[in-house]
């Protein structure tokens, strides 16, 4: 028991030391603020933080209330590349704002020397799209930190399977496929493919793909295989960190016909 207690104490001391080093890094504390982790339990804060500074003293990274700011008073903080207006990403953002409005507020600094103008930290493409659509003002979050690092690095990408469930839920709640296609700036056939994404795929393969982004064409190819071959191909894709539509097809073609699924023409 004594040995176990000593071992546990050593591990706790290691954790405390590691946290002290991390909390001394300004970038790490900025990430904590961005995630809303502004406090620690008192008994842990007393051990980790020096007496003159604790996590409870970390300020919130944004004003708690959003504000509406005229688009003419928002200044971009960087030059955008040429041809942005013709890019696929910009067209999707513009179509989404046109169909359902602004979902994620812009992030801006406080007023610059009482001039009424704000420097834009995050949301340059949204700002251009709103100007293009004739908006007069935008909902904004006023940041207390003049930095754009967090917005560009602390991003949670939506996986393809998560997108599938979101589309299914939207349609179950009465949203038409046509409106979804218009909001996402895609063809209705693309919505149908994403709706049928999981049909004919074994649970083990889906478990490997649940946190990844991949083309719906992968599902079309995997449906032609039996479950064991589906799992083999998905494992190869994950190990190669490639999830493009052409990746599983060579796996399918090199297997004998007795490895193919009996349902060749899947009803969409």
Each residue's pLDDT tens digit, 254-267: 555 545 554 444 44
Mean pLDDT score, 14-25 = 70
Identify the architecture of domain 67-153 in CATH: Alpha-Beta Complex (3.90)
CA proximity to 27, closest of 130, 149, 203? 149
* Six token digits for residue 14: 């290691």
Return the percentage of the chain with pLDDT > 90, whole number. Answer: 13
Structure token digits, residue 253: 């073609």
Q: Record the tokens describing residue 35, joined without a space.
A: 């995630």
Distance between CA atoms of residues 47 and 20, nearest Å: 9
The residue among 211 and 265 whose pLDDT is bigger is 211
pLDDT in tens, 106-146: 988 888 877 778 888 888 999 999 999 999 999 998 887 76
**Does 241 or 67 have the greater pLDDT score?**
67
Distances in Å between the alpha carbon of 235 and those of 206, 217, 242? Answer: 11, 17, 10
CA distance 27 to 36: 14
pLDDT of residue 137: 92
**160-259: which CATH architecture?**
Orthogonal Bundle (1.10)
Most confident of 85-89, 100-104, 136-140: 136-140
Where do the structural domains in the chain lie, given as residue ranges?
2-57, 67-153, 160-259
The phi and psi torsions of 265 (rounded to 5 degrees) equal -105, 90
Section 226-246 average pLDDT:
75
């Amino acid at each position: 028991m004594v040995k176990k207690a000593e071992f546990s104490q050593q591990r706790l001391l290691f954790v405390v030391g590691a946290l002290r080093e991390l909390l001394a890094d300004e970038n790490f504390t900025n990430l904590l603020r961005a995630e809303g982790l502004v406090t620690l339990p008192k008994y842990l804060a007393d051990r980790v933080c020096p007496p003159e500074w604790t996590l409870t003293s970390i300020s919130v990274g944004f004003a708690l209330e959003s504000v509406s700011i005229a688009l003419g008073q928002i200044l971009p903080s960087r030059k955008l590349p040429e041809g942005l207006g013709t890019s696929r990403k910009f067209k999707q953002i513009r179509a989404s704002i046109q169909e359902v409005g602004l979902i994620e507020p812009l992030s801006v600094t406080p007023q610059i020397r009482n001039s009424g103008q704000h420097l834009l930290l995050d949301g340059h493409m949204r700002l251009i799209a709103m100007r293009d659509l004739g908006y007069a003002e935008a909902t904004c979050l006023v940041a207390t930190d003049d930095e754009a690092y967090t917005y560009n690095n602390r991003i949670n990408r939506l996986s393809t399977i998560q997108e599938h469930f979101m589309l299914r839920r939207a349609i179950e709640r009465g949203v038409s496929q046509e409106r979804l296609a218009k909001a996402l700036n895609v063809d209705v056939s693309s919505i149908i493919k994403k709706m049928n994404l999981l049909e004919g795929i074994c649970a083990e393969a889906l478990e490997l793909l649940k946190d990844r982004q991949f083309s719906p064409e992968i599902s079309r190819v995997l449906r032609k295989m039996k479950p064991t071959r589906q799992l083999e191909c998905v494992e190869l894709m994950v190990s190669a960190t490639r999830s493009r539509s052409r990746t599983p097809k060579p796996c399918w073609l090199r297997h004998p016909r007795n490895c193919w699924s009996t349902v060749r023409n899947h009803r969409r």
